[in-house]
Amino acid sequence: MATVKRILKEYDDLKSNTLSNLQIESINRDEPFIWKAYIIGPESTPYQNGMFELKIVFPNEYPFKAPKIQFITKIFHPNINSGGAICLDILKDQWSPVLTVVKVLLSISSLLSDPNPNDPLVPEIAEVSKKNRERYNQTARQWTDR
């Protein structure tokens, strides 16, 4: 099946990836549609040194349909809700089969560095981010330390 071949290739690519802020857990090659990944919080952000667990579920139609990615680790962020859903255009209407999991995880890491309070999934956190950035950073740091 082409989907499984593509998923396993991306897994091998990610395992050999030299990006220090992305990690992937070993997968069951007999059931490769569910992954566990980790993003290390980017430097100079309130998420620095945090390790954020994500669950990745590939649809049977991958790469023509986007994978479902959610944060398992709780995070204080205007674009990530309490259920771990992520507001990111490439996971929705801007998905393209040329995208890979590595590119998506890098985009999620960038979202940690540069939240988008103008397109929030959690409006309350977006308001804090806009009106009191110091308080936002402090709260995000506290959640990250937990």
- Residue from 53, 63, 92 nearest 5 by CA: 63
- Could you say which of 37, 54, 75, 87 is catalytic? 87
- Residue from 2, 1, 4, 55 nearest 32 by CA: 4
Q: Count the Cβ atoms, other than its own, within 10 Å of residue 61.
A: 10
Active site residue 87: yes
**Residues with Cβ < 8 Å from 109, sequence gap 6 or more?**
21, 22, 39, 42
Let me know how long the chain is: 146
- Residue from 34, 31, 50 nearest 42 by CA: 50
Residues catalogued as catalytic: 87
